Structure 1
Amino acid sequence: MPAPKTYAAVVADEQDPVLGSPLNPANNLNATSPFLPSIDGDNDEQGARAAGWDAAADFDGLPWWQVPSVTWLLVPFFIFAMAFGGMIVPKLNLIVDLVCRKHFADETLLDPNFTFIPVVLGADNPQCFIPEVKKSVSVFTMAINLTVGILSAFTAPKFGQLSDRYGRTKFLALASIGGISAEIITILCAKYPDVVHYNWLILAAVCDGLTGSFTAGGILSNSYASDCTPPSKRAVVIGRLHACLFTGLAVGPLLAGFLVAATGTLLSVFYALLICHIFFLFFVGFVVPESLSQQRRLRAQKEHAEKQDDHSARGTWLAPLHVANVLAPLKALWPTKAGSSPALRRNLVALATIDMIIAGVAMSIGTVLLLYCESDDTWGWGTVESSRFISLLSWVRVFVLLAILPAINYIFRVRPNARRARATGTAVPDANQGADTLDIWLLRTALVSDILGSTGYMLARHEGVFVFAGMLTAMGGLGGATVQATLTKHVPSQQVGQLLGAIGLLQALSRIVGPIAFNSLYAVTVGSFDTAIFALLASLFLLAFLATWLVRPHVYLKHDEEPAGEDEPLLQEQRGRSAVGSQVAASG
């Protein structure tokens, strides 16, 4: 009988004076940036092999079009993000116009002498920005977000778990089907507003949520990137995906505004979005190579089958409850098996909380932020001004992720590792080592920027100050890429999808709680204390900043495939230190 796998929660004692990283053979020498060359000048895949990253060997001998790389995802993910970003302002304005038409129609029924300026779909309709309409829009958009959030809370984690066993690309393609259905319903509501009631947009949200929505697309894309990338390069590579996201968010509104100006109708935007979703479906489903080799998928299927057999042996009556429990994926954040430690669990929970806040705020603040900006009591922006504002913030995030983050990674991670390699004369392998000091301080810096920007939103009394505050929050774009890359460094590669599935569940839950908090607060305080939403925003970022102080560097779950006796005692944290110390002594 084969010996069971063992896991060890490892904490390193001896640290590099620059990075705070352990002087351990698992450090990487080839964490490059997209703008700066690698140490030995090789490409990513060659660098991964040279550094001893074992996943690169899974695709040896295959033609280039069958070798997975995050580069395959950049174009389709950009299209996916552009569709998502391009619909934010037009869809919100469509909802405002539809709700406004209904409001004025109801007023006319109550008072036949009531007069109003006709509402033109897609045009600037200042008559619609009255407290009654804004409250109705806030409640309706909250209902849409709740619908998507509740349903994606079920589906996104399942997609993450299933993708570990059956591959990433299948479920990435599946996630776009909901977007296609949602755009078709939106087109019908916009084209036939007198026939198709805007409440049908709730059905569009149901279709979107059942396929995991943007949450599933994000976690599956990050899982794909993690499969293709050595751990120490992961923050930079996931940063590229986030840069594609924000580039899409920047370009999408501009193209949407151009289409509206050129065609004179909002419908053209939604037709274009439908084409984007269809392109993503076919490109990811039929062109992008799978990132998990058949060997790794079969191994994950075998481990899952063994786990199911174990559950059956313990008692079958609990199985239905386990399947129905929507919170079951969160167990990935609280490992209790052999070798896990309190430090590991604390790291995972703290980082998951930070990610939940960052993602939840990003998904929840957009609607009320635009309503605040477009109100006559503040800046009175229209579709063009709002689109430019979103585009500006997105371009700032792109610059941070494609220029600043790789430069920081090169200066503080690549160069020290290169000096250490020259000093020892040995190329060291790349492996999961948990968060290092650089990861933690990047998170803290990003969250401080978010706190300052949110406070600026609250105190701004001039458009220029408000826009500058928005740019400060955009600088916090470092946080999203860093926290997700850091999370994947804590677990073995075959558990990345499961872990990010749990993160997807938390993001979906934040999509439920976030709109309730922000939209309800805005609906209650509109006209009296409109900036209350920014006070809440700053408070959440402060909570995330405090959580970073709970994260301990270089704690991770080590996957050991070597034979071990069944009576092997649990490895404790001190034993992990001793193992690392022995490796250092041997290498010296």
Structure 2
Amino acid sequence: MPADSSTIEGSVEFSGDSDENDIEQEAPRHWWKRPAPWWLLVLTFISTVIQSATGMPRFELYRELVCQVHQTEETFASLYLPSDYLLYSPLGPHWFNVITNDARENTEKAHFKASAFGCDSGRQFVEAATLAAVLETTVVVLSFMTVGWWGSFSDRYGRTRVIAIASIGQLLAAVNIIFVAKYVQRIPGGYWFLVIDSVISGALGGTSSELVAVMAYMADVSTPEKRSLLFSFLFGIRLASIGVGPILGRGIINITHNLLWVFYLAAVSRIFQACFVLFVLPESLRPAQMDRASRRRQEERWLTDRPTPWWYRHLFFLLHPFSVLWPHKISDENRANGTKRDWTIFILVMAYGLMLMATSSERVYLFYIWFTLRWDLQDLLYYTSSIAPIRAAYLILVFPLVIKFFAVRQNRQNDAPSTSPSEAEPLLSGSSRPSVSDAKTHNLSKNLTLMRFSMLVNIAAFAILPFAPTGLVFILFAMLGSFGAGLAPAVHSVALELYTLRIGTNAPLETGKLLGALSAVWSIFPYFLGPLLYWHIYAATFGTFPGAFLFVALGNGILAFALLTFVRFRTENTSNEDVRDLVNPRTP
């Protein structure tokens, strides 16, 4: 559906470009030439489906490449693989042209002989798992270092350009996988040549930079009132497509009997996506907005780089976007020096990070219910395959109704006469003069309420999971935790609005820079800190109290909720010039 006029007007209002001399007047355009969020929703679904479709085939390909490196082509083709497995080789059945009936009848003998070449099932799996771990770790580390920079890059050069660059990076990865699969015994390093994929993908921000650009695009073309709803659709579509992708990948393999056809499809889809984004998708930022962001970046570099040595500037320039999360100075008439630190965004980051750390304990769930509740592998498969669709259905169908309910409730409270202080009263400010409209204030209060509601749902799930007597009750309690999935869209909306209030409506908003820094920091908690903590607790208490990690997760959730109570927003009437001077001080 086309973007309505209110959406476009909202993007102009909150983009921070109210200077009439900077923004050019544009003639009305057709709906397909207007930036609208539905473009990205469809594109995200296709991109995530293709990405998830290559997950299991990728590891299977690693396992076969390990065998090919440790054996000659004839030994691997005719002596090792059973006849019913040859159809699923990466190069198809035509590659194994030396198969004979005698070799097929001697599979067990061939397996024993192949073990001498290091291709027995145990060593093969360990080597493939090591390769996968190295590649994934390289992507995660490099993405953490670069996603903030790519988010800032999208502010200065456009969202569509970053999405296209991320698509090209995924295209190069798919092409390199196909190349390695066909010439693994001829290229230097063998299957370790795939590290180039991880380096390229990580340097381009991986899938994180694409998601950050998509979210920034949606923030540009939507009003704050619609932002949490759009983010809910975005995260729900991503979860739904993650469930659809493996089904598509398995169907392609069953039809073609060739693992590489999944990567052929991935390469073609990435080419189509890059061309679509570059030549069809309308850019959400105007040239004047990108120019103002570039000038702001140059001013910051001039102010921060001048007193520092050259090696410091070149070594830590990737970490510059994280400065947006650090407490900034704001004006305060009650202080002697007239300024103080605004900790709201920093507290928000820590609160959501602790909750992400708590939800990362779900990775230990499988071992807990396997050994404690005595589930078999089929029960575990049912459990893992049901969580993502439930969360997707909640974000797409139920959470929008929750948003509407809290919006109506907030409007009723605001319309009712009251002499008590508002919930939106600033925590760290001493003035009550309003500087933002009532609509913005009410919307921010609504999103904070949505965050608290989602956190309470997660906390309730952590509190009752250790007392589940049977596997069925455990599944029901775990599904209850899925209804806290609305925390992600709510917290991103709150972060953007707090950042808008800090900078001021007339200052150039660097939405991509903020989202990139948030994405990088928040990835630390569920992927590094959480697993490190919960696996250590589970291993230490396995014989005495295996459910101890659930109580630790409950404590983290309560601490996150407690921190969230300190998140307030300013209602001072601070001028935009004062805000600019505080955020980006000028030298005399």
- TM-score under structure 1 normalisation? 0.69
Distance 1:430 1:295, change over 3 A: farther
Partner of 2:391: 397
The alignment partner of 1:555 has SS state of coil
Distance 1:50 1:132, change over 3 A: closer
Partner of 2:422: none
Match status 1:444 vs 2:455 = yes
Distance 1:50 1:165, change over 3 A: closer
The alignment partner of 1:140 has SS state of helix
The alignment partner of 1:62 has SS state of coil
- AA of the residue aligned to 1:199: W
Distance 2:361 2:261 in 1: 26
Instruction: Write out aligned runs for 1:167-566 (5 A).
Output: 167-191=158-182, 197-311=190-304, 314-315=306-307, 317-318=308-309, 320-325=311-316, 326-339=318-331, 344-345=342-343, 347-356=344-353, 379-380=376-377, 392-414=386-408, 416-417=410-411, 420=414, 429-430=439-440, 433=444, 436-448=447-459, 451=462, 471-492=479-500, 494-507=509-522, 509=524, 513=528, 517=532, 539=552, 542-551=555-564, 552-555=566-569, 562=576
Gaps spanning 5+ residues in structure 1: where?
1-33, 35-41, 571-588
Contact 1:185–1:204 (Cα < 8 Å) also in 2? yes
Distance 1:358 1:473 in 2: 12
Distance 1:509 1:132 in 2: 31
Distance 2:545 2:121 in 1: 19
Partner of 2:49: 82
Contact 2:69–2:184 (Cα < 8 Å) also in 1? no
Partner of 1:66: 33
After TM superposition, give the deviation of residue 282 of structure 1 in Å.
Answer: 1.6
Contact 2:447–2:493 (Cα < 8 Å) also in 1? no
Distance 1:546 1:134, change over 3 A: farther
After TM superposition, give the deviation of residue 509 of structure 1 in Å.
Answer: 4.6
Contact 1:83–1:252 (Cα < 8 Å) also in 2? yes
Contact 1:228–1:291 (Cα < 8 Å) also in 2? yes
The alignment partner of 1:338 has SS state of strand
Contact 1:92–1:367 (Cα < 8 Å) also in 2? no
Contact 1:436–1:554 (Cα < 8 Å) also in 2? no
Contact 2:168–2:274 (Cα < 8 Å) also in 1? yes
- AA of the residue aligned to 1:543: N
After TM superposition, give the deviation of residue 403 of structure 1 in Å.
Answer: 1.5
Distance 1:177 1:50, change over 3 A: closer
- AA of the residue aligned to 1:555: F
After TM superposition, give the deviation of residue 380 of structure 1 in Å.
Answer: 3.9
Q: Deviations over 1:152-184 (max 9, x none)?
A: 123211111121122111111111222111112
Q: Deviations over 1:397-437 (max 9, x none)?
A: 2211111211011111146437857999xx96547847754
Contact 1:177–1:211 (Cα < 8 Å) also in 2? no
Contact 2:327–2:346 (Cα < 8 Å) also in 1? no
Match status 1:46 vs 2:46 = no
The alignment partner of 1:494 has SS state of coil
Partner of 2:425: none
- AA of the residue aligned to 2:149: K
Distance 2:543 2:162 in 1: 41
Distance 2:383 2:390 in 1: 11
Distance 2:583 2:528 in 1: 42
- TM-score under structure 2 normalisation? 0.69
Q: Which has the higher contact order (CA 8 A, sep 6+)?
A: 1
Distance 1:166 1:141 in 2: 34
Distance 1:566 1:254 in 2: 51
**CA RMSD, Structure 1 to Structure 2 (Å):** 5.1
Gaps spanning 5+ residues in structure 2: where?
90-110, 112-118, 333-338, 419-436, 501-507
Number of matched pairs: 504
Contact 1:185–1:201 (Cα < 8 Å) also in 2? yes
Contact 2:364–2:535 (Cα < 8 Å) also in 1? no
- AA of the residue aligned to 1:440: M
Contact 2:10–2:221 (Cα < 8 Å) also in 1? no
The alignment partner of 2:162 has SS state of helix
- AA of the residue aligned to 1:504: S
Contact 1:156–1:215 (Cα < 8 Å) also in 2? yes
Distance 1:519 1:436, change over 3 A: closer
After TM superposition, give the deviation of residue 390 of structure 1 in Å.
Answer: 5.7
Q: Deviations over 1:325-363 (max 9, x none)?
A: 244332211132333987842x32343235556778999
- AA of the residue aligned to 2:240: T
Distance 1:568 1:508 in 2: 29
Match of 2:156 among 165, 171, 187: 165
Distance 1:132 1:378 in 2: 27
Distance 1:283 1:153 in 2: 27
Distance 2:226 2:130 in 1: 42
After TM superposition, give the deviation of residue 89 of structure 1 in Å.
Answer: 2.7
- AA of the residue aligned to 1:501: G
Contact 1:343–1:555 (Cα < 8 Å) also in 2? no
Larger mean Cα displacement after TM superposition, 499-508 or 184-193: 184-193
Larger mean Cα displacement after TM superposition, 83-92 or 224-233: 83-92
Distance 2:402 2:166 in 1: 34
Larger mean Cα displacement after TM superposition, 54-63 or 138-147: 54-63
After TM superposition, give the deviation of residue 519 of structure 1 in Å.
Answer: 12
Distance 1:460 1:76, change over 3 A: farther
